[in-house]
Amino acid sequence: MTGEIIGTYAIAFLLLIGSFFVAVGVIGLLKFNDPMIRLHAPTKVGTMGIGALLLASMIHSFVLSEGSFHETLIMGFLFLTAPISAHFIAKVNIHLRSCDTPPSPPGDGEWATLNVSDDDTLSEQPDPR
């Protein structure tokens, strides 16, 4: 078998895996009702699917001996921004109280910024002088 045939099989395999992950992400996005549960579908499964599709595109460009690293930049951007945006969406849902509040951690009365102590609110006020 030549390298071109092996590359074609690798591309076909990655396209199938990527399209499966993207389809599962779309189904999860449509099926789940709660925004916090719905958040997992596009961020985890969808990212893996898009990553596999971009890897297939990258292998295809190298099999044709044209080589392209643009997909690497897109993958890096996607893998860095998806968890950050998921974290921000989760924090907004928690602060708007549109979902169940997470349980308090043991031994600590404050969780993130949901429960601010009186000392913290007093220290944020401007000095009257």
- The C-alpha atoms of residue 124 and residue 117 are separated, in whole angstroms, by 11
Q: What is the pLDDT of residue 108?
A: 57
Residue range 42-90, pLDDT digits in tens? 777 878 888 899 999 999 988 887 777 888 888 889 888 888 888 888 8
What is the domain extent for residue 56?
Answer: 3-102
Quick check: is 64 in a domain?
A: yes
- The C-alpha atoms of residue 10 and residue 41 are separated, in whole angstroms, by 25
Angle at 48 between CA 72 and CA 22, to 5 degrees: 115
Quick check: is 128 in a domain?
A: no
Q: What is the pLDDT of residue 20?
A: 93
Q: What residue has token string 């308090």?
A: 104
Q: What is the pLDDT of residue 69?
A: 81
Quick check: is 60 in a domain?
A: yes
Q: Work out how many domains the chain is built from and give that number.
A: 1
Specify which of 3-7, 14-18, 72-76 reaches the highest per-range mean pLDDT.
14-18
75: which 2 tokens?
Answer: 């993958």
Quick check: is 129 in a domain?
A: no
What pTM value is reported for the model?
0.67
Mean residue pLDDT across the chain: 78
Quick check: is 51 in a domain?
A: yes
Quick check: is 116 in a domain?
A: no
